[in-house]
Every structure is written in C-alpha cells, then in structure tokens.
C-alpha cells in the first residue's frame, strides 16, 4: 500500500493496516464533497481479503518555460529620495530640528451648597489653549548658499533668519545676504561701526570697481557713548641689574645649530624637591655641553610647550612661563640645522645643561627688562615715549639705534 508516500507490506499487523487505510481515506476525503460509508466498508473488506487493487493517480507534468537571453531587460527606476516634498540640489545639506507643543486646559467650578439668599450659584468653566514652536534650520544649499534660521515664539525677538551667498572670485556678485544682517565698517583705534538690521545686502565686483548696497530695516536701538581718555606722564629709572631673572635663556648652545627644528626640543627640569615627584618623574643623565667628565644624574620632569615655555626657533631663545628657582637644573635636547641632535654631542647620550645649581653656565639672557606698565602710548616723535641709557652720573652712554652696547 502506498498511500502517504510510503509502502506498507502485507506482513505488517492488521491494526497498523487499518490505521493506514483510514489515513488514506481521510486524505482522499479532503478532495471529495461527500462521504460514502458503503464504499468505505467495501474497501475495508477487500483489504482484509487482500483483494484490493491500488489505483494509480496520474500526476501532471511540470510546465516548462524558456527565458530568451536576447530580450532587453529594463532597469528598475529608482524613485528619488524626496519623492514627496522639496528636492534639494546636489552638494546640499540642511539640518532641521525643532519642537511643537500644544497644551489644552479645561477648568470647571461648581458649588455644592446653595447661597444664603436661596439664589442659584452659577457654575464657572473655562478652556485655555497654549502653543509653542521652536524651529532651527542650519546648513548649505549647493556650495555657495548658507542658511541659518532660529525661530522661538517663547522668547521675545527670537526670530533670526539669515541666508548668505558667497560667490567665486571671478563672479559679479561676491556676497549677498538676506535676513538678519550686521552692517559694519572697518574699525579704527577709537571708532567702530556695527549695527544690526533686517534686510538685504550685496557686494558686487566688476574689474577694479567694487559696489556695496544695503536695503534694511533697523532692528536694534541706536545708542551713543562718549569717552574722554586721560594720560599721565611717568618717569621711571630701571637699574641694569633689574633684568627679568631666570626667564629668558639661550636654547641654542651654538650659533651653528640655528635654526632649531620646530617641535624637536625636549626640556627637562629638576626642582631639587623630592616631595613633589610623580610617576612621570624620571632619572635623566645630564652634562655640560662640550665638557668631558661632567656627566651626572638628575631627577627631572619633562616640560610641555605652550603651558610651561615658548621658543623662538629662529633665534634659539626659550622663555619660561613658570617660575624658575635659583637651585633648579635645566637640561635640553633638540634637533640642529644639520639634522643631528644635541644629545649625541660630547659627552654623548646625555641632555645638555643650560642652567645648573650655581648659575655659572652663562646661558641666561640678562637684557630683558620690565617697565611695569601696560597700555603705553606709542611714540609719535613728539616725546610720548623716551628711552635713555645713563651711567651713575646721569650721563647718556649711548644713543638708541646707533651705538652698539656690550652684552654683560
């Protein structure tokens, strides 16, 4: 029997055979509209007497089809990203963000007790609708147009709209702006002009002619302020020994090293205080430049450019931004003009000292002084600023710009 896709041989028990017959019959009933009990009994008797002949069911052959390789296949059309709405041109990017708030409030008041005069107390009800809108649009349209919109109806006068166009150097329209613009003129030492307005502005250029046009409505309140300055003439004597101590040093150990390669320096400092050492503190081998048998070890910290010091690489001068103590030890390394490093010079494998505990190396610059004042008026050749070098007898020793003075 091959009814459910498998075959049952006559040697199998009768109970299993009846179950299979019932399963076959049940499946066939799915395709018939009526159930015939007489037909079912007849088939069962034939099965028991082994006289039942299986009917073969003809199955339809699967349909075949061919695909022509010569037929042209049309590519599917890709719908645009912004199929519904605004289509932005190429090289455009807009970021839109905001919030819309709608709030509703309903109130109702009723009185449970009557009035003393037996009059009906009227009920009170109310309805309130509150709305808020904040929108911000920022981005570019193509390459030349910049959009900036900041709208907030919860803040007074918070409706900023700015659309700016910047043209190429060869175009007629160099710059154009619409919305909230700022009108300004080049500032001088005492006068500047800036005014906020709402309107349009354009800058045009044709050959050597420049045009500037503005159409605007004033958006701010004009205010005028007057100032009267006051100056004082001060005379101050500065001793030659009152230079800025331990601030300016020669970084270049020789003029042949100039210019120093920018960013190649390493500046180490030992403050002789073991209590403030950290995990970044390291033992460093240092020595005097060009002096043999001067090598020793120091517990140093690496300094950082900008926060701890600045360097003039062309002149080879280092300016310390932090306070330097009298007993500090400062050692350096940098790349010279020829590409070699100072650490490899004699004595080799050691950082070179520009300051020791005794301050006898001679790398400190002693020609920088502080006047002690700021906002000094520039000399206008009428005596606003006078500088003289005098001896102890108040005799002028040299004339600035014409006489060379020996460095101490």
Q: What percent of the chain has pLDDT over 70?
A: 75
Residue-level pLDDT at 64? 53
**Is the model's pLDDT at 334 over the cut of 90?**
yes
358 alpha-carbon distance from chain centroid: 48
Task: Please state, in angstroms and rounded to a whole number, the distance separating the CA atoms of residues 173 and 211.
Answer: 10
**Is the model's pLDDT at 78 over the cut of 60?**
no
Instruction: Supply the angle between the helices 14-29 and 37-48 in degrees, to the nearest 10.
Output: 150
Q: Three-class SS of residue 354?
A: strand
Going by pLDDT thresholds of 50, 70 and 90, the confidence category of residue 207 is: confident
Spatial contact of 268 and 301, defined as CB atoms under 8 Å apart = yes
**Is the model's pLDDT at 312 over the cut of 50?**
yes
Average pLDDT over residues 295-303: 95
Q: What angle do CA 174, 177, 181 make, to 5 degrees?
A: 130
Q: Three-class SS of residue 272?
A: coil
Q: What is the mean pLDDT of the chain?
A: 79
Going by pLDDT thresholds of 50, 70 and 90, the confidence category of residue 401 is: low
**Is the model's pLDDT at 75 over the cut of 60?**
no
**Is the model's pLDDT at 109 over the cut of 90?**
no
DSSP string, 178-237: EEEEEEEE---SS--EEEEEEEEEEEEEETTEEEEEEEEEE-S-----------------
For the chain, the domains span 1-56, 248-355
Q: Three-class SS of residue 101?
A: strand
**Is the model's pLDDT at 66 over the cut of 60?**
no
DSSP string, 275-316: GG--TT-EEEEEE-TT-TT--EEEEEEE--BTTTEEEETTTT
Going by pLDDT thresholds of 50, 70 and 90, the confidence category of residue 11 is: very low
Work out the end-to-end distance of the chain between its first and last CA atoms, rounded to an integer number of angstroms: 124
**Is the model's pLDDT at 192 over the cut of 70?**
no
CA dist 299 → 266, 293, 324, 331, 358 (Å) = 15, 19, 16, 11, 17
- The residues, ordered by sequence, that sit 6+ positions from 253 with a Cβ below 8 Å of its Cβ are 289, 342, 352, 354, 363
Interval 232-288: pLDDT, tens: 788 889 998 999 999 999 999 999 999 999 999 999 999 999 999 999 999 999 999
Going by pLDDT thresholds of 50, 70 and 90, the confidence category of residue 403 is: low
Interval 154-191: pLDDT, tens: 887 777 888 888 888 888 888 888 887 777 665 555 56
**Is the model's pLDDT at 71 over the cut of 60?**
no
Residue-level pLDDT at 86? 63
């Amino acid at each position: 029997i091959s009814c459910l896709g498998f075959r049952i041989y006559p040697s199998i028990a009768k109970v299993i055979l009846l179950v299979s017959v019932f399963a076959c019959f049940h499946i066939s009933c799915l395709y018939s509209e009526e159930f015939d009990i007489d037909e079912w009994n007849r088939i069962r008797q034939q099965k028991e007497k082994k006289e039942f002949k299986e009917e073969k069911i003809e199955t339809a052959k699967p349909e075949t089809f061919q695909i022509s390789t010569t037929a042209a296949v049309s590519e599917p059309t890709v719908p645009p990203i912004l199929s519904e709405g605004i289509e932005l041109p190429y090289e455009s990017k807009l970021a839109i963000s905001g919030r819309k708030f709608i709030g509703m409030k309903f109130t109702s008041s009723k009185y449970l007790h009557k009035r003393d005069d037996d009059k009906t107390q009227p009920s009170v009800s109310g309805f309130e609708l509150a709305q808020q809108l904040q929108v911000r649009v920022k981005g570019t349209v193509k390459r030349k147009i910049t959009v900036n919109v900041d709208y907030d109806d919860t803040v007074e006068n918070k409706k900023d709209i700015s659309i700016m166009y910047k043209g190429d150097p060869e175009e007629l329209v160099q710059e154009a702006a619409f919305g909230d613009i700022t009108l300004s003129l080049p500032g001088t030492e005492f006068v500047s002009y800036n005014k906020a307005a709402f309107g349009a502005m354009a800058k045009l250029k044709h050959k050597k002619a420049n045009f500037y046009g503005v159409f605007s409505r004033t958006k701010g309140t004009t205010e005028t302020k007057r100032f009267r300055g006051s100056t004082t003439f001060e005379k101050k004597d500065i001793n030659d020994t009152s230079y800025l101590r331990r601030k300016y040093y020669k970084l270049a150990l020789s003029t042949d090293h100039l210019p120093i390669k920018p960013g190649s320096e390493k500046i180490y400092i030992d403050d002789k205080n073991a209590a403030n050492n950290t995990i970044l503190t390291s033992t460093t081998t240092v020595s005097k430049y060009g002096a043999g048998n001067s090598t020793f070890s120091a517990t140093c910290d690496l300094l950082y450019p900008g926060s701890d010091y600045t360097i003039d690489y062309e002149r080879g001068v280092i300016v310390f931004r932090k306070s330097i103590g009298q007993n500090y030890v400062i050692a350096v390394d940098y790349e010279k003009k020829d590409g070699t490093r100072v650490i490899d010079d004699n004595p080799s494998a050691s950082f070179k000292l520009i300051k020791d505990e005794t301050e006898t190396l001679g790398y400190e610059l002693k020609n920088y002084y502080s006047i002690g004042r700021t906002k000094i008026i520039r000399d206008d050749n009428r005596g606003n600023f006078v500088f003289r070098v005098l001896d102890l007898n108040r005799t002028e020793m040299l004339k600035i710009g014409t006489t060379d003075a020996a460095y101490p």
